[in-house]
Amino acid sequence: MAVSTSSVITLNINGEKHTLPVDHRTTLLDALRERLDMTGTKKGCDQGQCGACTVLLDGRRAVSCLQLAVAAENREITTIEGVAEGDRLHPVQQAFLDLDGYQCGYCTPGQICSAIGVIEEHAAGWPSAVTGDVRPEAGPPELTAEEIRERMSGNLCRCGAYVAIVDAVARAAGTAAGPAGTEEAAA
């Protein structure tokens, strides 16, 4: 008996269900872009190293180029197209716009989705590699420029808009990582 290599799946994307047949090897990124015409999520390296394809999967950051579409069935998928509320930009989107947290804009959708995840992770008290006190009773670490840079390190910007990205994440999180995201200004 031949084993099937495709399935009909239902993806819950930005609160809307999409049913489609997919080859089991289809990535979530390819399903979004090529099958559902949701081109806001960008294909960068296609190896999980640049973060351009970052989406939120059940509220957590995920590089969609490494996520199989069949494994995303019955999960909440949020793409850049789903972060705003109608005509009102998400606070992270607004901060990126206000502070020029983008240049060419190619990496921006992944940066924004990642920043939303970063802010949620920080609020939940998750430590990063640069967090000094990782004890749960210590509470969330201060969201300094160093913390933001570490937490956003999986997203590359080939234009080098990192300073503005750090400032935008800090503004959206309601913190003051300082002008130009400098450590001295954060102190």
CATH number for the domain harbouring residue 130: 1.10.150.120
Together in a domain, 75 and 97: no
Q: What percent of the chain lies above the pLDDT cut of 70?
A: 93
Q: How confident is the model at residue 42 (pLDDT cuts 50, 70, 90)?
A: very high
Domain range enclosing 106: 91-186
Last residue of a domain, one of 57, 82, 107: 82
- For every residue of the chain, which 3-state class applies, written as one string? CCCCCEEEEEEEECCEEEEEEEECCCEHHHHHHHHCCCCCCCCCCCCCCCCCCEEEECCEEEECCCCEHHHHCCCEEECHHHCCECCECCHHHHHHHHCCCCCCCCCHHHHHHHHHHHHHHHHCCCCCCCCCCCCHHHCCCCCCHHHHHHHCCCCCCCCCCHHHHHHHHHHHHCCCCCHHHCHHHHC
Q: Is the pLDDT of residue 178 over 50?
A: no
Q: Indicate the number of domains in the chain.
A: 2
pLDDT at 186: 37
Answer yes or no: is 1 within a domain: no
Together in a domain, 77 and 96: no
pLDDT at 138: 86
Last residue of a domain, one of 59, 82, 105: 82
Last residue of a domain, one of 82, 113, 130: 82
Contact 96, 150 (CB under 8 A): no
pLDDT at 1: 77
Together in a domain, 129 and 176: yes
Contact 168, 185 (CB under 8 A): no
- Tens digits of residue pLDDT in 71-108: 999 999 999 999 999 999 999 999 999 999 988 999 99
pTM: 0.90
pLDDT at 3: 82
Together in a domain, 100 and 181: yes
Answer yes or no: is 57 within a domain: yes
pLDDT at 129: 95
CATH number at residue 29: 3.10.20.30
Q: What is the mean pLDDT of residues 59-63?
A: 97
Q: What is the mean pLDDT of residues 26-51?
A: 97
